[in-house]
């Protein structure tokens, strides 16, 4: 059985029924906010974006424009494994793989495009990458009328960048192997031993 609850409605008087006084009350609130903001411009919380930008805080620093990291030798850390494109819920990442002529085992992205008009800045591409090759820590927030019509598809050349404070990253499978190989090479060269690469 359904219980029914009777609610006593408030009696509406004549002035409330014709809404004129209620409209005047609403206009008074709007006028009060307007004149308070006009007389105290510095106290207005609105910023004049994009001329003024508020510094990003917290998780906002991890959800800015994408970038592809580089190895110490300048090559992209990305190995074109398609993990980021597979994890992307908006299908905004397009990758074409290529092979290095001197290393047919490892691949690299010949083309790596991100369509910002479709990207939802969820960060799943960063989490999915096994090489730690993609990041969203540039601090650049794309948007606005001018930027929207200027460039909404980022190419590999647009994405490849290093931050000034960032140390050379060896995180990721191939980066870790490269770092281990470099460490062994430096140790053996310091002792005067010959590695497989410099035997001749």
Judge whether residue 70 has pLDDT over 50: yes
Q: Is the pLDDT of residue 56 over 80?
A: no
Question: Which of 72-81, 106-115, 164-173, 175-184 shows the lowest per-residue confidence on average (mean pLDDT)?
Answer: 164-173
Mean pLDDT of 92-108: 88
Most confident of 70-74, 86-90, 115-119: 86-90
Whole-angstrom distance, CA of residue 89 vs CA of residue 129: 15
d(C-alpha 54, C-alpha 120), whole Å:
21
Q: Measure the CA dihedral 144/145/149/154, to 10°.
A: 0
Residue 31 has pLDDT above 80, yes or no: yes
Is the pLDDT assigned to residue 65 strictly greater than 80? yes
Predicted TM-score (pTM) of the model is 0.58
Lowest average pLDDT, out of 3-12, 92-101, 110-119, 140-149, goes to 140-149
Q: Give the pLDDT score at 144.
A: 60
Beta bridge partners of 67: 135
pLDDT, tens digit (0-9, with 9 covering 90-100), for 121-162: 888 998 899 888 998 888 777 766 556 556 788 899 989 988
Q: What distance in Å separates the CA atoms of residue 89 and residue 155, rounded to the nearest whole number?
A: 19
Q: Is the pLDDT of residue 57 over 70?
A: no
Helices of type H across 19-172: 20-39, 83-87, 124-128, 144-150, 156-159
If you average pLDDT over every residue of the chain, what do you get? 80
The C-alpha atoms of residue 122 and residue 106 are separated, in whole angstroms, by 28
pLDDT for residue 13: 84
195 has a pLDDT exceeding 50: no
- Rounded distance, CA 123 to CA 65, Å? 10
Q: Which domains does the chain have, with CATH numbers?
A: 62-178 (3.30.70.3270)
Percent of the residues in the chain that have a pLDDT greater than 70, as a whole number: 78
Q: Which has more confidence, 17 or 191?
A: 17
d(CA 18, CA 13): 9
Using 50, 70 and 90 to split pLDDT, how confident is the model at 15?
confident
pLDDT band at 92 (very low <50, low <70, confident <90, very high): very high
């Amino acid at each position: 059985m359904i219980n029914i609850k009777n609610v006593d409605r408030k009696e509406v008087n004549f002035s409330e029924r014709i809404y004129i006084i209620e409209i005047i009350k609403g206009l008074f609130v709007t006028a009060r906010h307007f004149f308070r903001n006009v007389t105290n411009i510095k106290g207005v919380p609105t910023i004049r974006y994009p001329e003024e930008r508020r510094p990003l805080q917290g998780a906002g620093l991890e959800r800015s424009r994408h970038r592809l990291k580089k190895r110490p030798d300048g090559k992209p850390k990305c190995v074109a494994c398609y993990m980021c494109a597979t994890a992307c819920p908006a299908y905004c990442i397009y990758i074409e793989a290529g092979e290095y002529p001197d290393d047919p085992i490892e691949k690299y992205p010949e083309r790596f495009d991100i369509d910002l008009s479709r990207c939802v800045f969820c960060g799943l591409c960063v989490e999915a990458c096994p090489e730690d090759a993609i990041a969203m820590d540039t601090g650049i927030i794309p948007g606005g009328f001018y930027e929207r019509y200027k460039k909404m598809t980022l190419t590999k050349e647009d994405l490849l960048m290093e931050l000034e404070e960032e140390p050379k990253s060896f995180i990721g499978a191939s980066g870790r192997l490269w770092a281990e190989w470099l460490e062994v090479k430096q140790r053996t060269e310091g002792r005067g031993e010959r590695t497989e690469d410099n035997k001749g």
